[in-house]
Chain A
Amino acid sequence: MSALAPALPGIADPRALQRSLGRAERVRKLRAFALTLPLLVFLMLTFLVPIAALLKRAIENPEVANALPRTVSALERWNRRDPPPDEAYAAVLADLGALPESADAGALARRLNSEVPGARSLVMNAYKALPLEGVASPGQAKARLTALDERWADLKYWQAIAKNGSRWTGDYLLASVDLKRDAQGTIERMAPDQRVFGRILVRTFEISMIVTAWCLLLGYPLAYWLSTLPARQANILMIVVLVPFWTSILVRVAAWIVLLQSAGLVNRALIATGVIDHPLALLFNRTGVIIAMTHILLPFMILPLYSVMKGIPPSYLRAAVSLGSTPLAAFFRVYVPQTYPGIGAGALLVFILSIGYYVTPALLGGADDQMLSYYIAQYTNVNVNWGMASALGALLLAATLVLYAFYRRITKSEVSLG
């Protein structure tokens, strides 16, 4: 306002007024922006930068280019069908001999091994045998290397080196959708027994959708009931809903094991009441995963539903009934449509949280109930193949974004998760 004050007397020049208004607006915007700046920086550092780093890891391929520069250039004009030139053998010896640390040989061995199983021992044996005495010509280099390990005559290892000569590769991303480049660089499908991530991605979404549906089915009546209660009782019950939040996820998983195992409470109760003769298999299969995940994620469905339902005046329902609607029709045609924002927010929240689930399926599921994050963890921790882990992470991210875009298309509205 203070910026306006000098322009007020006279109002002779409307453009001056406009300018000063504009200036005031800019200052206001800048100030607002400055206020959000810490949050933006925080988001950048904790959210965008790690995602960018992950995406970079998924296409980074420095190992071969760093460790075997001479070999890569010796293989440049090789047609990848005939035996490689003798110079390539000499170049491998020269490259391995020039590596500053054994860690570089290890990184190379790991990279090639994830491409061609067996390359690890091939590379490390050659590296450890260095220096080879009396290698004067490329022909001798070939003879010595193949004498050391006859697999050096095998084309597939050379093809892997030639293929990975560049610093960037789409191979990890291709592998994450069960594709690969063959020796000549044409993209083809993986061998049937190596095709796996497509099915795992479908399985991940399938489990997430079932869990979301169950959460909605169980959460909706509960949230409705809570919203009709007086504030005091509703608050107490809300605390009960939230208690699981304060318990460690592992504790809850262990509790489910105790309840659901074949001699567990649920099975014993069912047998005692004569409902079943044999204990049901409720654990270490899909059923167990879905039960536990639904339980863990239920509060994320109830909270947004409750907050939306709280804002719907009960008089609407009464009005509908007084105008001649049956109570059930009034509920589904008047009440439910008003809760769509809550359903949308709750379903999206539960769905997005569940596609990243890892511990629960790992402990309560069988070998074919594992979700994509289980394999991301396996590549990160067990195989230490971070390129593949990042590519799977990128796949999960992309699939989620596509699904979110699709969701926005059909709901045609911005979902507020607040």
Chain B
Amino acid sequence: MKKILLAAALVAGAALPALAQQLTVVNFGGANANAQKKAFYEPFEKSGVKVVPVEYNGEQAKIKAMVETKKITWDVVEVESPDVARGCDEGLFEKLDYSKIGAKGDFLPAAVSDCGIGIFVWSTVMAYDGDKLKTAPTTWADFWDTKKIPGKRAMRKGARYNLEFALMADGVKPADVYKVLATKDGADRAFKRLTELKPSIQWWEAGAQPPQFLVAGDVVMATAYNGRIDAANREGKNLKITWTGGIYDLDYWTITKGTPNKDAALKFIAFASTPDAQAEYAKNIAYGPTNKNALAKLDAKTLANLPTAPANAKDALQFNLKFWADQGEELEKRFASWAAQ
């Protein structure tokens, strides 16, 4: 046994120099990580660079600590939209060289930014269990209507998204939501609406929770990330999505400032942004491609589940990252204060 182990160690040792080029790619884990592995990491490794996937939960503190101490162990990081702009301003990310990635015109306008390029479009939507709930909720007003549809609702712990949903439930048109929310009266109105629903809310922390709540029957409706609902349905569940008033947003690839593997990182991002890789990703999880040329490579059934499908995007709202970058800290604090009442 010892000999075998020794031999294995020797082989591993000998094999290491061949894989000297390593690239650490950080993602948000779960179904998203599996889809990325199939669509991005495994095909990219054929180019001779080994991809080391790491999962995180969006903690920008780690990136900040790495950049401040100049010990960069994360090369490419998947980052949510508010953090791209902020991290770019604060010097956490490298500026991207688009000449090495692709033509800017091939991508959705929102996908192109100085420090990050969109990976996919995802949406926070209303979801319910098609087997348990016979009358489908169609608007956020239905979500708020505990008489029409009694039972608990699952919502993300925090102010983000919930304030927008509350305003839409109060009759604000998606196009006006951020204009209203920016005023003191608008914020008051959103919190007042949330207060009405408060006794019926079951809060979730992680994206994997709302589909579990729905399947377990703990809640009748939930706000959820559409990809998580899709992942549950791939396992044989019958969860449904109401796309009206969903809030869509992008996740971005960024390169940590000062990484020694900048070239490989750019190559990886360029590869992951090709139409083929993007189409493959969308087949594995229902998040919309950012490269417009990828759409032609998808069949109608896959397309219908994506947030970018015209029918789904029609009454949706784009997440306003400028608004949340400015107001987020105060609104989250207000949310904590509201929750404690």
B35-43, B303-311, B320-328: which lies at the interface: B320-328
* A386 to B90 alpha-carbon distance, docked (Å): 14
Contact A196 B218 (CB under 8 A): no
* A195 to B340 alpha-carbon distance, docked (Å): 10
* A119 to B327 alpha-carbon distance, docked (Å): 9
* A13 to B287 alpha-carbon distance, docked (Å): 93
Contact A362 B337 (CB under 8 A): no
Q: Does B60 contact A (CB under 8 A)?
A: yes
Q: How large is the interface on B (under 10, 10 to 19, 20 to 34, 35 or more residues)?
A: 35 or more
B242 CB → nearest A CB, Å: 23
Known: A102-B89, A102-B91, A263-B217. A284 touches B202 (CB 8 A): yes
Q: Does B98 contact A (CB under 8 A)?
A: no
Q: Which residues of A contact B329 (CB under 8 A)?
A: 113-114, 117, 383, 385
A327-335, A363-371, A406-414: which lies at the interface: A363-371
Q: Is the interface of B mostly helix, strand, loop or mixed?
A: helix
Q: Does B12 contact A (CB under 8 A)?
A: no
Q: Is the interface of A mostly helix, strand, loop or mixed?
A: helix
Q: Which of A72-102 contact B (CB under 8 A)?
A: 101-102
B99 CB → nearest A CB, Å: 21
Q: Which of A344-369 contact B (CB under 8 A)?
A: 362-363, 365-368
B61, B203, B328, B337: the one contacting A194 at CB < 8 Å is B337
Q: Does B64 contact A (CB under 8 A)?
A: yes
Q: How many residues of A contact B (CB 8 A)?
A: 46
* A259 to B130 alpha-carbon distance, docked (Å): 25
Contact A193 B337 (CB under 8 A): yes
Q: Which residue of B lies closest to A203 (CB)?
A: B340
B158, B206, B216, B340: the one contacting A368 at CB < 8 Å is B340
B217, B332, B339: the one contacting A378 at CB < 8 Å is B332
* A386 to B92 alpha-carbon distance, docked (Å): 15
* A385 to B203 alpha-carbon distance, docked (Å): 24
Q: Which residues of A contact B88 (CB under 8 A)?
A: 106
Q: Does B176 contact A (CB under 8 A)?
A: no
* A244 to B216 alpha-carbon distance, docked (Å): 26
Q: Does A110 contact B (CB under 8 A)?
A: yes
Contact with B along A172-203 (1 / 0, CB 8 A): 00000000000000000000111110011001
Contact with A along B86-111 (1 / 0, CB 8 A): 10111110000000000000000000
* A194 to B187 alpha-carbon distance, docked (Å): 13
* A103 to B93 alpha-carbon distance, docked (Å): 10
Known: A106-B89, A117-B329, A120-B325. A381 touches B59 (CB 8 A): yes
Nearest first, the 6 closest Cβ-Cβ pairs linking A and B are A103-B91, A106-B90, A106-B89, A367-B339, A381-B59, A196-B337
List 11 A–B pairs whose Cβ atoms lie within 8 Å, in order of A's numbering.
A103-B90, A106-B90, A106-B91, A110-B86, A121-B322, A121-B326, A193-B334, A194-B330, A199-B337, A200-B336, A262-B216
Known: A103-B90, A106-B89, A117-B326. 5 other contacts (CB 8 A): A261-B218, A284-B202, A366-B157, A382-B332, A383-B328
On B, residues with C-beta under 8 Å from A are: 57-61, 64, 86, 88-92, 157-158, 191, 201-203, 205-206, 216-218, 322, 325-330, 332-340
